[in-house]
Structure 1
Amino acid sequence: MTNLSVNINKIATLRNARGENVPDLLKVAADCEAYGAQGITVHPRPDERHIRRDDVYRLRPLVCTEFNIEGYPSQSFMDLVLQVRPTQVTLVPDAPDALTSSAGWDVASNMEFLVSVVDRFKAEGIRTSIFVGTDTDNIRQAAKTGTDRIELYTKPYADLYPSGPEKAVAPFVEAADVALKCGLGVNAGHDLSLVNLEYFHSMIPRLSEVSIGHALICDALYLGLEETIHRYLNCLK
């Protein structure tokens, strides 16, 4: 079974626009779980333009499913994760001012750093995932860090899907196969949507988790949050 983890960053963006507590981030997280989501994802950035550090602390005791924290492993980020102790930490190579994640790690060039980070989190019982592209040599390098999983950066798939689904998904099928043979779990995320998720999952059925935020929240504006989550879950059957 592939879990659906809902990234609630966009809920925080909407809340922050008015400086009040509408929408209520904690209630939305609880509702996502009540509607069937198997995880909640947050990506706190240094400028706190959406998820804030305080949100992470307040969410931790309330999230009953898997709690996934994404981010660049700066010292402040690592301190936060070690205090909160989520189910999973996803390591991304974003610059502090990045608008959104736009590439995976070059693992070989950051091997020593990533090994030290993975070792620190795993020593505390926190599952680790490294955000990567589809380069198979890079994925083999990721396995050498000791990480539990990788998360495949799926924007290239989403961009190519309308013009040719088979061509778009092919490198991801190969990447997932290599990762699984290396003993890694495989997550995926970025621009997955109701348009392209079902096909992606049908081609890579052994995915452990997909993390979806922007498209899901946009769909919820029209369909409602409960119906939207049900539709995403149906894509993963």
Structure 2
Amino acid sequence: MTKLSVNINKIATLRNSRGGDVPNVVQFAMDVQRFGAQGITIHPRPDERHIRYQDAYDLKPIITTEFNIEGNPIPKFIDLVLDTKPTQVTLVPDAEDAITSNAGWDTIKHKSFLQEVIKEFKNNGIRTSIFVDPDLHQIEGAKETGTDRIELYTEAYAHQYKIGNKNGIEPYMECAGLANTLQLGINAGHDLSLDNIQFFKENITGLLEVSIGHALVAESLYLGIENVVQMYLHKLR
């Protein structure tokens, strides 16, 4: 079964909009784990506009599943990861002013940098994953960095699926096949939803984990968080 890691950034966005502590991100993380989620993902950004760096420290003691911290490995982020030692760190090449993640790494151009950062994390017992576009050359480049896993950037798939083009899965299938051959673990994330997740799961061999936040929280406004978590788990079996 593919694991479901719930990205709780949107809960932090809602909290921050009122300046208080409602909803409480720690309680939400505890609840979704109780409902069956197999991991918690956070993606702190330098301006802390949703998840704050302190949230990572507050969450660490209560996570009983897997803790995944995503972000651009600037010095502050690296220090945070080394301090909290999550189960997994996912490296994402975000610009500081990006609204959301919008591209994967150029694993060839940034090979040396990624090798250095990944080595540091792995030396500290932290599993590593890097965010990549569905491009065979980038998968090959990812292998050279020493990463344990890749996270396939699925926005293009989600868009094609929405307009009825199921062939949009094909680049992802090819990349998954290559990643399996190279013995790279496969994660995926971005714009995955209840509508498109099952088709993706059924066609991506060796899919270990998906990270879902925006869609899951939006769907929960209508269907309820416990119900939505169970719906995702059913589709991922």
Q: Please say whether Structure 1 and Structure 2 have the same fold, judged by a TM-score greater than 0.5.
A: yes
- When the two structures are superposed, what TM-score results if normalisation uses the length of structure 1? 0.99
Deviation at 1:78, TM superposition (A): 0.2
Aligned to 2:89, what secondary structure does the other structure show?
strand
The aligned residue for residue 145 of structure 2 is 145
Aligned-CA RMSD value: 0.7
The aligned residue for residue 225 of structure 2 is 225
Matching of residues 1-237 of structure 1 within 5 Å: 1-237=1-237
Runs of 4+ in 1 over 6 A off after TM superposition: none
- Paired with 1:49 and 1:77, the residues of 2 have a C-alpha distance of 15
- Paired with 1:159 and 1:15, the residues of 2 have a C-alpha distance of 29
- Paired with 2:162 and 2:105, the residues of 1 have a C-alpha distance of 26
* Identity over aligned pairs, percent: 57
Deviation at 1:138, TM superposition (A): 1.1
Runs of 5+ in structure 1 lacking a partner? Answer: none
Return the letter of the residue paired with 2:119: D
Deviation at 1:205, TM superposition (A): 4.1
Return the letter of the residue paired with 1:191: D
Q: Which moved more, 1:110-119 or 1:162-171?
A: 162-171
Write out per-residue CA displacement over residues 93-116 of structure 1, whole angstroms, 9 at most, x where no aligned residue: 001111000010001100110000
Query: Is contact 2:176-2:205 (8 Å) kept?
Result: no
Write out per-residue CA displacement over residues 170-193 of structure 1, whole angstroms, 9 at most, x where no aligned residue: 110001110111110000000000
Counterparts in 2 of 1:34 and 1:165: CA distance versus 1, 3 Å:
farther
Runs of 5+ in structure 2 lacking a partner? Answer: none
Aligned to 2:48, what secondary structure does the other structure show?
coil
- Paired with 2:151 and 2:195, the residues of 1 have a C-alpha distance of 20
Deviation at 1:162, TM superposition (A): 2.6
Deviation at 1:165, TM superposition (A): 4.4
- Paired with 1:103 and 1:96, the residues of 2 have a C-alpha distance of 13
Deviation at 1:163, TM superposition (A): 3.0
- Paired with 2:137 and 2:109, the residues of 1 have a C-alpha distance of 12
Q: Which moved more, 1:55-64 or 1:155-164?
A: 155-164
- Paired with 2:174 and 2:164, the residues of 1 have a C-alpha distance of 17
Deviation at 1:166, TM superposition (A): 3.0
- Paired with 1:68 and 1:106, the residues of 2 have a C-alpha distance of 22
Deviation at 1:164, TM superposition (A): 3.5
- Paired with 2:140 and 2:108, the residues of 1 have a C-alpha distance of 10
- Paired with 2:128 and 2:162, the residues of 1 have a C-alpha distance of 32
- Paired with 2:68 and 2:97, the residues of 1 have a C-alpha distance of 21
Aligned to 2:109, what secondary structure does the other structure show?
helix
Query: Is contact 2:173-2:205 (8 Å) kept?
Result: no
